[in-house]
Chain A
Amino acid sequence: MSLDKTYKRLLLAIAMAVTLSACQSTPNSFYQQVGEQAGLERLVDAFIKQIGQDEVIFPYFKQTNVSHFRTGFITHMCDVLDGPCKYEGDSMAQIHTGMKINEHDFNHTVDLLIAAMTDVGLSHRLQNKILARLAPLRAQIIKI
């Protein structure tokens, strides 16, 4: 086999390897990792259950239409986690203005969301990535 041919085959092999690894490393979106629509519904239901059992956070939801919250939160999470949804409901600031949520209650709600994610079996690492996506929303939720 000539050197030239070997070289060409090597190049081809590298090109194929690169293409293949590119296919394999195409990341599943967080939306897919959560289990798409059904997974999100399970997660939000678990979160609602956590809130319902919590004497600190539940009072914030006294005036809330739970099915409206459920639908809105599922769509919002789907949007935030790169799913095929566009959240067009009220902004976080609109929803939370006047609630005057303090740091303690905000972090306590994060604790409840973590508990809900654990309840539905999301891995520790996926939980962290989801929290990283949600954390920037804090400024539009707290102390307004």
Chain B
Amino acid sequence: MKWVSFFIISLFCNTAFAAGKLLATPGVSQIEGSAGGGLVPWAQLAGYASEDEWSIAAFCSRGHVKNYSLDVCGVQGNLFNRIELSYAEQEFDVPALSTRIDQKISGVKVRLYGDIVYSDWPQLSAGIQHKSLKDGKVAKLVGAESTHGNDIYFAASKLHLGALYGYNWFWNITARYSEANQTGLLGFGAKDADKKWLLEASSAVFLSREIALGAEFREKLNNLGLGESHWRDIFIAWFPNKSLNVTAAWLDLGSIAGVDKQTGWYVSIAGYF
């Protein structure tokens, strides 16, 4: 307990917040709490801590599609730009059934190699997301085997300075080993279903130092036979300074729990300390 209070006091006493990275290079926050795009965890670690610093970040996001909405809030700690610890709580609303699905996600990401700007090869990270549903009723109903699960992933990302007609170009590729149905909101696994490697990818162009325009793709499983679709988004992210990020996106989540054409909007706000 002493350690916790020490940590909290030092947090508020520390007026000079970590700012050792270049603007926008930590990316934004993804729906499972890791630093990434909106949907995909990236190789960058959350926050502006460089290798001699630590930092804390907090975010809240809301995604709203035709028949559902998802609210997420989370926190991220960055230790010496080597380890990212994250925790996020998701509330998934299904108004038609007057049901809410709550999921908690704890994450750890480790930077294995490189720097997205300066290293010859892309920055590489490995991570794990431990997810658990508060109430497995819906998951069991649709045929999931478990109410908790672990995703592991490897991510590679790179920012190419001036590479696209002078504009900075970013890309990320992530491979995720998962058995989650709709990222875990509909449980994990199913009868005769195995964990699989899934491909996720993002790319963005920086129109200025502060504004990036990009797109994402996230491959999904179809364990439950409900026609689960791959996810896509187009996003615009605004980084007015190293303390704030606001991201907006257009979502195409395809079919969710048998209800198709789930398109809509997403907005996320993050603060960095």
> A residues touching B (Cβ–Cβ < 8 Å)?
102-104, 107-108, 110-111, 114, 123-126, 128-129, 131-132, 135, 138
Do A108 and B166 touch (CB < 8 A)?
Answer: no
Known: A125-B167, A138-B118. Contact between A107 and B162, CB under 8 A? Answer: no
CA distance A104 to B53 in the complex (A): 8
Partner of A124, one of B21, B81, B163, B208: B208
Known A-B contacts: A114-B209, A132-B160. Give 7 more (CB < 8 A). A103-B50, A107-B21, A111-B22, A129-B161, A129-B162, A129-B166, A135-B117
CB distance from A49 to the nearest CB of B (A): 20
CB distance from B25 to the nearest CB of A (A): 9
Partner of B168, one of A111, A123, A128: A128
Can you give 10 contacting A-B residue pairs, CB < 8 Å? A103-B20, A107-B21, A108-B20, A111-B22, A111-B23, A114-B209, A125-B162, A128-B166, A131-B162, A132-B161
CA distance A132 to B162 in the complex (A): 7
Do B162 and A103 touch (CB < 8 A)?
Answer: no
Q: Is B165 an interface residue (CB 8 A)?
A: yes
CB distance from B270 to the nearest CB of A (A): 20
Interface flags for B143-177 (1: CB within 8 Å of A; 0: not) read 00000000000000000111101111000000000
Do A104 and B209 touch (CB < 8 A)?
Answer: no
Those 6 A-B pairs whose CB atoms lie nearest each other, nearest first: A125-B166, A104-B20, A128-B162, A103-B50, A132-B161, A129-B162
Do A102 and B51 touch (CB < 8 A)?
Answer: yes
- Collect the chain A residues with CB atoms within 8 Å of residue B208's CB: 124
Known: A102-B52, A135-B117. Contact between A107 and B20, CB under 8 A? Answer: yes
Q: Is B19 an interface residue (CB 8 A)?
A: yes
- Collect the chain A residues with CB atoms within 8 Å of residue B18's CB: 104
CA distance A90 to B118 in the complex (A): 23
Known: A104-B20, A114-B209. Contact between A125 and B165, CB under 8 A? Answer: yes
Do B52 and A104 touch (CB < 8 A)?
Answer: yes
The residue of chain A having its C-beta at the shortest distance from the C-beta of B52 within the complex is: A102
CB distance from A48 to the nearest CB of B (A): 21
- Collect the chain A residues with CB atoms within 8 Å of residue B52's CB: 102-104
Interface flags for B232-262 (1: CB within 8 Å of A; 0: not) read 0000000000000000000000000000000
CA distance A131 to B117 in the complex (A): 10
CB distance from A93 to the nearest CB of B (A): 16
CB distance from A108 to the nearest CB of B (A): 7
CA distance A14 to B206 in the complex (A): 37
- Collect the chain B residues with CB atoms within 8 Å of residue A131's CB: 161-162
CB distance from A131 to the nearest CB of B (A): 5
Known: A135-B117, A135-B118. Contact between A108 and B165, CB under 8 A? Answer: no
8 Å CB interface, B12-40 against A? 18-23
Do A107 and B161 touch (CB < 8 A)?
Answer: no
Interface flags for B188-209 (1: CB within 8 Å of A; 0: not) read 0000000000000000000011
The residue of chain B having its C-beta at the shortest distance from the C-beta of A142 within the complex is: B118
Do B165 and A104 touch (CB < 8 A)?
Answer: no
Do A128 and B161 touch (CB < 8 A)?
Answer: yes
Known: A124-B208, A131-B161. Contact between A107 and B50, CB under 8 A? Answer: yes
